[in-house]
């Protein structure tokens, strides 16, 4: 089996055979859209009893030696080398001693990563049963962003069962027992690996009735003296600073530790909420909330997908992460 993306369980393949096998196997990805046959034309059966680190250089060897170990003819090796170099537009092997060129070393590293990813894909020999995945997510992100798209994931991957856990929607709170966690914060997470999912902008919102009763709102200063709904997730100082308002952060009035609750409160006419556009989409689309101003300003925080080291070795985790990033792109 493949371990760590840099080791292969092999039998008696020598160094040049490994380099040719991996590099030539990439040609199959380009020319034959049947992944199950990846490298099968060039690589002999692997012996799972031995693990060998793959080299970045190839010692002196020849096309004949490579052909013997790959069980193909020398002309087939030469043809495949030339074909692969034509496809990617660069020389991979030195013609004198068949050592890898600088470009060949770099390309080999990328092919290793691809093979490691394919190894994570469940095969016919994988353990039977459904795949289980635990995802912790903040309530409004789940309601506004994830749930409208989740049906498409289940249609594409019916073998994965997801358990959604609601996490406390405060900055940088971690759900310890989840495989993947959606966190909202600065992105400076030294304890986990992570990738940014969504950056957003904020703007004041209120119910249409409240706006009619308290408007018009032509300038940011028109908010002075009005009830501003508060949340530790999105302080008003972001909006104030962007509009050169030297106002203190509100310390009175209703406060909410969930954006969805604040949107509901604003929709009920309790005041003005500073809300992220993407999370407020359901309220805006239904007409429950309206924007007070055309301008929005970037939030200093974003949503991140986080995981512990080694989590992405599991196919279901890597698959969900890749799908979610693609769905939100």
Q: For 7-120, CATH number?
A: 1.10.10.10
Is the pLDDT at 31 greater than 50? The verdict is: no
Domain ranges of the chain: 7-120, 131-198+303-328, 199-297
The rounded distance, in Å, linking the Cα atoms of 292 and 113 is 49
Percent of the chain residues past pLDDT 70, beyond the cut: 71
pLDDT at 79: 76
pLDDT at 198: 93
Is the pLDDT at 224 greater than 80? The verdict is: yes
Average pLDDT over residues 265-282: 96
Tens of pLDDT along 234-253?
A: 999 999 999 999 999 999 98
Q: Tell me which residue of 277, 218, 224, 227 sits closest to 251, measured CA to CA.
A: 227
Is the pLDDT at 320 greater than 90? The verdict is: yes
**In CATH terms, is domain 131-198+303-328 a member of 3.40.50.300?**
no
Average pLDDT over residues 217-234: 94
For the domain made up of 199-297, give the CATH fold. Answer: D-Maltodextrin-Binding Protein; domain 2 (3.40.190)
pLDDT at 134: 95
Query: Per mean pLDDT, which range of 83-97, 176-190, 275-289 is the poorest?
Result: 83-97
The rounded distance, in Å, linking the Cα atoms of 3 and 281 is 43
Is the pLDDT at 16 greater than 80? The verdict is: no
DSSP structure string for 50-92: -EEEPPSS--S--HHHHHHHHTS-HHHHHHHHHHHHHHHTS--
The rounded distance, in Å, linking the Cα atoms of 73 and 188 is 54
Same fold, 7-120 and 199-297: no
Q: Tell me which residue of 31, 19, 30 sits closest to 92, measured CA to CA.
A: 19
Choose the most confident range, by mean pLDDT, from 38-47, 65-74, 199-208: 199-208
Q: What is the pTM of this model?
A: 0.61
pLDDT at 187: 84
Query: Per mean pLDDT, which range of 21-35, 137-151, 158-172, 234-248 is the poorest?
Result: 21-35
Is the pLDDT at 190 greater than 70? The verdict is: yes
């Amino acid at each position: 089996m493949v371990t760590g993306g840099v080791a292969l369980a092999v039998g008696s393949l020598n160094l040049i055979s490994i380099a040719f096998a991996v590099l030539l196997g990439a040609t199959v990805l380009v020319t034959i859209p049947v992944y199950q046959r990846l490298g099968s034309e060039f690589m002999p059966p692997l012996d799972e009893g031995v693990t060998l680190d793959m080299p970045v250089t190839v010692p002196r060897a020849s096309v004949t030696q490579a052909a013997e170990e790959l069980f193909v003819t020398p002309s087939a090796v030469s043809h495949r080398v030339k074909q692969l170099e034509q496809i990617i537009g660069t020389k991979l092997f030195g013609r004198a001693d068949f050592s890898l060129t600088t470009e060949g070393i770099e390309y080999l590293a990328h092919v290793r990563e691809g093979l490691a990813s394919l190894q994570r894909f469940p095969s016919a020999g994988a353990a039977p049963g459904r795949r289980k995945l635990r995802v912790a997510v903040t309530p409004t992100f789940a309601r506004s962003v994830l749930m409208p798209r989740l049906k498409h994931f289940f249609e594409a991957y019916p073998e994965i069962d997801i358990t959604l856990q609601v996490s406390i929607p405060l900055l940088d709170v971690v759900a310890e027992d989840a495989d993947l966690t959606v966190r909202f914060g600065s992105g400076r997470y030294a304890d986990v690996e992570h990738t940014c999912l969504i950056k957003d902008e904020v703007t004041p919102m209120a119910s249409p009735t409240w706006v009619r009763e308290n408007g018009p709102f032509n300038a940011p200063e028109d908010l002075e003296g009005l009830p501003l709904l508060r949340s530790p997730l999105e302080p008003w100082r972001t909006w104030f600073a962007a509009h050169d308002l030297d106002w203190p952060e509100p310390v009175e009035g209703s406060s909410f530790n969930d954006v969805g609750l604040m949107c509901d409160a604003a929709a009920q006419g309790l005041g003005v909420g500073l809300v992220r556009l993407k999370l407020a989409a359901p309220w805006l689309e239904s007409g429950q909330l309206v924007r007070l101003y055309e301008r929005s300003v970037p939030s200093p925080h974003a949503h991140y997908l986080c995981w512990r080291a080694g989590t992405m070795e599991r196919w279901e985790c890597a698959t969900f992460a890749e799908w979610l990033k693609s769905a939100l792109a």
